[in-house]
Amino acid sequence: MSLAKNGAGRSEAQLLDFDSIRAVLVAALIICIPFAFEFLVVVDVHSPFLEHAYLGMTVFGPLELILLLLAVASSPLLFRRATYRGWPIGLIGAVTLTFVTFAFVVVGGPTPEGIVRIVRFAGIAGAIVAISRMSPGLMRKAVIWPLAGTVALQAAIALAQTFIWHSGRESGITVRFDHVWTQGYGTIGPYALATVLAVAIAIILSAGAFERLHPLMWVSVVLGAAAIATTFGRSGAMAVFAIAGLYGVAWVFKRKSAYLASSMAAFLPMTIGMAITWDGWSVRASETAAGEQWGREELLQRAFDVIRGNPLFGVGPGEYGPTLARTGLTATDITIVHNVPVLVAAEYGIPIGVMFAAWLGLLGVSALLTSARATAVFVAIVPYLVFNHNPIVYGYGIALFGLWLATLDYHRSHRHGDAPSSESEIGEAATATA
């Protein structure tokens, strides 16, 4: 990587050191994601959600601290057009979300959730800036390897907990949904775990666009897909099968063995895992057919009621839950709507909600025009945007959302179709993108 002196007179070595610091912060962010709920400080002690798990609870922990440091470390490069190749669509959206949230906080008055959300959005913008400057080699070290290690560790914990917990209670290899739901799961809950694993798997597989994946990376993908099967998360299952299907289609048209390997690494362990835990999946299927408690239709109707009451400017960042609480609902009955664009419209107003949905559509079109691997990264989070709220509500979800955006921008700027076929090609690819 060739870095000339900038206007402030910093040397090439100093700039490289700052890049290394940002890379270390990105790696620390990834490692911290699964532990976001383990070490936290409750900021909003009056939150109506304190008795209802972590929903709506404003926290500031190590994850937020790393995001704050990333925002500060990357801010000098934020508006340097030369830093980016092509339009950084993900970065533009993250910066817009930061400034829009800041505006709402200034106009409507500061709230704990509003301030923490500014930090989180600014942090993911900083992560995108940091990752956009990385060479394929540094991307591998600072992003892919930490993700692979995180996936392998969390998946191993989840699989061990599932089968060890179960083996002490019944004979035979069957795992029911209520077993997983009541035992506590890994370092985060089952649905949160499925979110992290699904998006991380897509990002790890996408690294094959620049260099061949290390065998241990393949192992982490296989373990991650198998672990998702034991969480009984429907969005996670949809994400994994979408990734596998997309790589399968890419293989049919391009006949590249790397695409077939990526498809099978996601599809086979997920399918085998679902077969082993089919009792639990049948319960989930019956719940879906019957309309489970906190059905998504009811949640959407409540959200539309909130939107109708505040169509232009919404209720404010993080104020959706408290707004429901003021209607007389108990903490047990308050569940945030499981649709991210609708939630954005409820909190920020219909105009911002429409812009957010259009931005997501633009990201999808851009990924489709970039490569099969970029498209696989995009589809990994779509089920969570449509049927969940993790990417915009929780700290770990927002951090993961930032890594997702950064990966899409990274692929768009580098635009490689698949792994180089020789070491010389790998060197040429790294040189061309440095």
Does any domain span residue 287?
yes
Q: Which residues are within 8 A (CB) of 375 and not within 5 positions of it... i.e. 6 or more apart?
A: 246, 367, 368
Q: Which two tokens stand for residue 347?
A: 């909190």
2 contacts 434 by C-beta, under 8 angstroms = yes
H-type alpha helices, 232-349: 234-254, 257-276, 278-290, 296-309, 320-325, 340-348
Beta bridge partners of 42: 59
Query: Domain range for residue 381?
Result: 135-292+334-433
3-state secondary structure of 260: helix
Q: Which two tokens stand for residue 213?
A: 């994946």
Residue 156, CA distances (Å) to 28, 79, 268 in order: 20, 41, 17
Buried b (16+ CB within 10 A) or exposed e, 368-380: eebbbbbbbbbbb
Residue 186 has pLDDT above 60, yes or no: no
Does any domain span residue 106?
no
Average pLDDT, the chain: 79
The pLDDT score that the predictor gives to residue 24 is: 93
Highest mean pLDDT among 284-288, 337-341, 376-380: 376-380
Secondary-structure breakdown of the chain: helix, strand, coil percentages, each rounded to the nearest 5: 75, 0, 25
Residue 36 has pLDDT above 70, yes or no: no
Does any domain span residue 285?
yes
Does any domain span residue 411?
yes
Q: Which residues are within 8 A (CB) of 75 and not within 5 positions of it... i.e. 6 or more apart?
A: 126
Q: Between the CA atoms of 44, 45, 51 and 55, what dihedral angle is there, to the nearest 10 degrees? A: 10
What does the pLDDT average to over 264-279?
90
Q: Is 312 exposed, middle or buried (0-12, 13-18, 19+ CB in 10 A)?
A: exposed
pLDDT digits (tens, 9 = 90+) for 69-127: 999 998 888 766 545 566 789 999 999 999 999 999 898 887 778 888 999 999 999 99
Does any domain span residue 392?
yes
Does any domain span residue 88?
no
Does any domain span residue 62?
no
End-to-end CA distance of the chain: 5
Does any domain span residue 111?
no
336 contacts 319 by C-beta, under 8 angstroms = no
404 contacts 243 by C-beta, under 8 angstroms = no
Q: What is the domain count for the chain?
A: 1
Q: Between the CA atoms of 134, 261, 384 and 98, what dihedral angle is there, to the nearest 10 degrees? A: 10
